[in-house]
Structures are given as C-alpha cells and as structure tokens.
C-alpha cells in the first residue's frame, strides 16, 4: 500500500541530539525534568493547537499534550489573550495580601469540583499531593500512608514508589497484602519509607490488611490509573474505598491531577459522585500553565488557620497564585464549562472516532489489542483484555510491539510519548481531519510492522 500520511519530512534526530548534547554541559542529563527523556529524544521548538514542530522542522499531530495538560490545545488564543492582558494591565506577584483573581479562580474552580468546600493553589501537582498527605496526617494524628501500585502521585518522598515497577522487582503479584516497596528515587530516608505501604489497584482486601496492621493517616490513588495508560477501577472498588475511609477514619485522597478536568469539569468525582476527603488537581485545569490545587471539606482545608497550633498546617509558597497561571486557569475553566462550546462533547466525538478507527485497523492486521478510553484519555494495550492493575498489564502487554508502533507513528508525524503504555490525550484543537490523518498513519505503520 502507499503511504498517505501527511508528514513527508523524514524524522531527523541529529538537531535534537545536538540540543541535548549542548544542554548536558550545563544541565544534568540535558533537560530539566528527567521524565521527559525518551527514546528517541526529540527537541521541540514550537506548538500550536494540535500540532508540534521539532527543531528539524518536522510537524506532528500531538497526542502527548505535554503529559496531558493541553485539553484546549497549545497556545489557545483565548488563554494567550488572558495571560497577555494581565501582564499588560500591570498585575504582579505582590507577595502580600489577597488578590481578587485568586478568589475568582477559587470560586470558579469549586463550581466545577463541586464536591469540595474549599481549595488551595500551588505550582505543581507534586506540591499538591505532598500537602494533601501533610493535611491528612495533621487531621488524623496518624502517619502511615497507603499507595497504589501503578499510581504516580508526584516526585516527593512520601509517594515516590512503585509506578511502572519491573515484575522482577515485585517478585510475584500480591493480593490481600502489600507489595515490596520499590522507590523511584534514591535519597528517601528509611524511617520515611517504613511509613509507606503499596497495595495492588482494585484490591480492597489489601487495604483492609493495611488498616489492621498500621495507623493509617491516608490512602492516595489516582481514581483511574492514567500514568500506566488508562486502567479503570472495577465496579465497587472506589465505593469500597469510600466506605473503608468512613469506617476507619483515614483520609481518602483522590489524586485527580490527570483525571480532573480531563474526564469532565468535575473530574472522576463529578462523573461518579463519589467524593475524596481531599483531592488534588493540576494539568488540564490551566491547559499547560503551572498551577495545581488541593480541594476538600472545610474542616480539613481550614487546618491552615487552625487555632490549635498542633494541627495547623503550613500551605504557603512565594509563587502560589501568580497572576499569569491564575489568568490562564480562569480562561481555561471558562471555556471548559461553556455550554456553547461543548468542549467535552467535541473531545468525546473525536476520541470515539479515533478508537473506532484504531480498532478497525488492529482487526484488519490481526493485532491483538484492547483500547481503553476515558473521554479524551486513551491507550491501546496489546493484550486481549483491559488490564485491571499493573501486574496484569506488566505480564500481558506486548511492550516490544508498543514501542515499535509508537516509533513508526512518530516517523509518520504522529506524536505519542515513545514510552509503552503512556496515555494519549486529545485536545479541543484537534479536528476530524487530524484523526483521519492519524488513522492513515496508523494504517501505514501497521502495514510496515506486519508486512
């Protein structure tokens, strides 16, 4: 068959390699976030809407979306206008007193994340999850924390464990008990590690075991595991967690940094009506600008001003609610909840078109694949069922084929992050034409791989 994909310019990795080599003289590893390093390394120079351009000038349709924030697309014109307007109007990061804009953002935010009473803002998702655990410990007077295998909750000590853990490091699947801890960073003191317990996703019995064994302050989990593709909770699991939290008095933290505002304006909790005691958000609510949030009930959130100093928590930061990300978030939220735009309807339509087309092509080429999708977040697993947890995924998914498939698509100008199982994200700036071009490239990629 002839290759009809739109990006005719061959992948030229030399200019990207030169950027990495230059940066490596000054920045360890050559880039500011090691999670951005992938094979191949591509240095991007520009982005607009659904498209990216690398430093060699090659154009891509983007499904990586900067690790998922770009729900409206790159450089959304309304957002750009809002950000430039606050700068032109002379707003600054005064560092003293409240601002009208942070109040406006909080009100707008809570009109979306409506199961929470109050919200506090930070600069990154990792700060939000760190503060969630701190608030939970202050509220309960307990110290142990339950994590979920395959859930990424940020870079700080208390959560930096067991994400895409090699099965050899786990040894065997553990149901009803805890996995060995496998830190994803060096430098976590043993005393801190001993307060952390990792359980399998969709395993309520393991949570009960932890509750019987330890004084648990909090359990934190992504409600849908979106750092290992899209792994959904089984019926009854999230409800079960809610009941265990109510019965045992630990703080259930839903980390909605990825699901929030991508799954819908109220995130996973808006879709299901099942509330976390605390919830963390980031990424999509500001369409790529650096801001994150911790939301929850007043009792817990107000610990920041508790009269009891033994419970008062410090939630502070020089750049919290800097006017630029605040303006970006307000502009984004206004668009996300505008019924005339129907952002989520548009996203769902595009994502369904992509899913249907991909499934047809996998069938055409006899590829065993299961596509899992939550709105515009999607992942194709090369296995015969939707994974229910990391062990299932790690032992059944064809990682080698996934890596080759991603590479063939990149050659053809379709950019998903090259690491197998990483979630794809569609933005409001994508069009039917983008999806059709993606499917044509997919057809050509599969033909190449399986010819």
Ligand X SMILES: Cc1ncc(COP(=O)(O)O)c(C=O)c1O
Residue window 101-130: x/- pattern of binding to ligand X, with contact defined by CB under 6 A = -----------------------xxx--x-
Give the up-direction half-sphere exposure of residue 233: CA atoms within 13 A in the CB hemisphere.
21
Instruction: Please state, in angstroms and rounded to a whole number, the distance separating the CA atoms of residues 10 and 349.
Output: 31
Q: Which C-beta is closer to ligand X: that of 427 or that of 442?
A: 427
DSSP alpha helix (H) spans, 163-318? 167-170, 190-193, 204-213, 237-248, 267-272, 298-301
Instruction: Please state, in angstroms and rounded to a whole number, the distance separating the CA atoms of residues 122 and 305.
Output: 17
> Parallel, antiparallel, or unpaired: how do β-strands 144-148 and 59-62 relate?
unpaired
Q: Which C-beta is closer to ligand X: that of 99 or that of 124?
A: 124
Minimum separation from the CB atom of position 292 to ligand X (A): 6
- Applying CB under 6 A, among 227, 358, 423, 425 the residue interacting with ligand X is 227
- Applying CB under 6 A, among 282, 296, 325, 413 the residue interacting with ligand X is 282
Answer yes or no whether residue 416 interacts with ligand X by CB under 6 A: no
Answer yes or no whether residue 154 interacts with ligand X by CB under 6 A: yes
Q: Which residues pair with 332 in a beta bridge?
A: none
Structure tokens at 131: 């503060």
Site for ligand X in 284-313 (CB under 6 A): 292
Give the up-direction half-sphere exposure of residue 23: CA atoms within 13 A in the CB hemisphere.
17
- Applying CB under 6 A, among 106, 163, 257, 393 the residue interacting with ligand X is 257
Residue nearest to ligand X (CB): 125
Q: List, as one string, the DSSP characters of 134-158.
A: HHHHHHHS--EEEEETT----SSTT
Residue window 195-214: x/- pattern of binding to ligand X, with contact defined by CB under 6 A = --------------------
Place of tokens 């690790």: 67
- Applying CB under 6 A, among 51, 232, 258, 275 the residue interacting with ligand X is 258
Q: Which C-beta is closer to ligand X: that of 325 or that of 413?
A: 325
Q: Which C-beta is closer to ligand X: that of 284 or that of 369?
A: 284
Residues in the interface with ligand X (CB under 6 A) total 15
Structure tokens at 223: 């409600």
Answer yes or no whether residue 67 interacts with ligand X by CB under 6 A: yes
Q: Which C-beta is closer to ligand X: that of 72 or that of 228?
A: 228
Q: Which C-beta is closer to ligand X: that of 293 or that of 437?
A: 293
- Applying CB under 6 A, among 54, 62, 76, 255 the residue interacting with ligand X is 255
Q: Which C-beta is closer to ligand X: that of 211 or that of 218?
A: 218
- Applying CB under 6 A, among 63, 152, 261, 417 the residue interacting with ligand X is 152
Instruction: Please state, in angstroms and rounded to a whole number, the distance separating the CA atoms of residues 164 and 143.
Output: 25
CA distances from 370 to 41, 355, 398 (A): 28, 10, 11
Residues 6+ apart with CB under 8 A from 214: 144, 197
Answer yes or no whether residue 222 interacts with ligand X by CB under 6 A: yes
Contact, 378 vs 351, CB < 8 A? Answer: yes
- 82-90, 230-238, 251-259, 303-311 -> range binding ligand X (CB under 6 A): 251-259
What is the arrangement of strands in the sheet containing 59-62, beginning at the earlier edge strand?
44-48, 51-54, 59-62, 414-415
Answer yes or no whether residue 153 interacts with ligand X by CB under 6 A: yes
Residues that bind ligand X (CB under 6 A): 67, 124-126, 129, 152-154, 222, 227, 255, 257-258, 282, 292
């Amino acid at each position: 068959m002839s290759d009809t994909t739109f990006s005719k310019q061959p992948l030229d990795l030399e200019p990207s390699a030169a950027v990495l080599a230059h940066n490596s003289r000054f920045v360890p590893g050559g880039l500011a976030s090691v999670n951005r390093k992938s094979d191949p390394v591509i240095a991007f120079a520009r982005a607009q809407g659904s498209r990216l351009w690398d430093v060699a000038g090659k154009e891509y349709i983007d499904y990586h979306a900067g690790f998922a924030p770009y729900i409206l697309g790159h450089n959304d014109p309304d957002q750009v206008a809002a950000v430039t307007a606050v700068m032109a109007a002379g707003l600054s990061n005064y560092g003293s007193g409240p601002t009208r804009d942070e109040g406006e953002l909080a009100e707008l935010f809570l009109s979306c994340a409506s199961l929470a009473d109050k919200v506090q803002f930070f600069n990154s998702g990792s700060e939000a999850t760190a503060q969630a655990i701190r608030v939970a410990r202050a509220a309960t007077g307990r110290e142990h924390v339950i994590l979920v295998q395959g859930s990424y909750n940020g870079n700080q000590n208390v959560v930096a464990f067991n994400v895409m853990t090699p099965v050899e490091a786990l040894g065997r699947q553990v149901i009803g008990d805890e996995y060995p801890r496998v830190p994803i960073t060096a430098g976590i003191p043993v005393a801190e590690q001993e307060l952390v317990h990792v359980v399998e996703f969709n395993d309520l019995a393991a949570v009960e075991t932890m509750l019987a064994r330890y004084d648990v302050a909090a359990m934190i989990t992504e409600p849908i595991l979106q750092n290992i593709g899209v792994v959904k909770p089984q019926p009854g699991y999230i409800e079960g967690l809610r009941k265990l939290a109510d019965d045992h008095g630990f703080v259930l933290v839903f980390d909605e940094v990825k699901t929030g505002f991508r799954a819908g304006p109220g995130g996973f909790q808006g879709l299901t009506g099942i509330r976390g005691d605390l919830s963390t958000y980031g990424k999509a609510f500001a369409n790529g600008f650096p801001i994150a949030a911790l939301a929850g009930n007043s009792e817990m959130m107000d610990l920041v001003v508790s009269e009891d100093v033994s419970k008062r928590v410090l939630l502070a930061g020089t750049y919290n609610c800097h006017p630029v990300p605040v303006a970006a978030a307000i502009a984004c939220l206004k668009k996300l909840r505008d019924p005339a735009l129907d952002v989520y309807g548009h996203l769902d339509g595009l994502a369904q078109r992509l899913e249907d087309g991909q499934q047809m092509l996998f069938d055409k080429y006899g590829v065993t694949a299961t596509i899992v999708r939550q709105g515009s977040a999607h992942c194709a697993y090369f296995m015969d069922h939707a994974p229910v947890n990391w062990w299932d995924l790690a032992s059944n998914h064809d990682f080698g084929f996934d890596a080759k498939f991603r590479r063939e698509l990149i050659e053809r100008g379709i950019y998903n992050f090259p690491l197998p199982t990483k979630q794809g994200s569609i933005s409001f700036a994508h069009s039917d034409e983008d999806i059709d071009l993606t499917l044509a490239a997919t057809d050509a990629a599969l033909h190449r791989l399986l010819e």
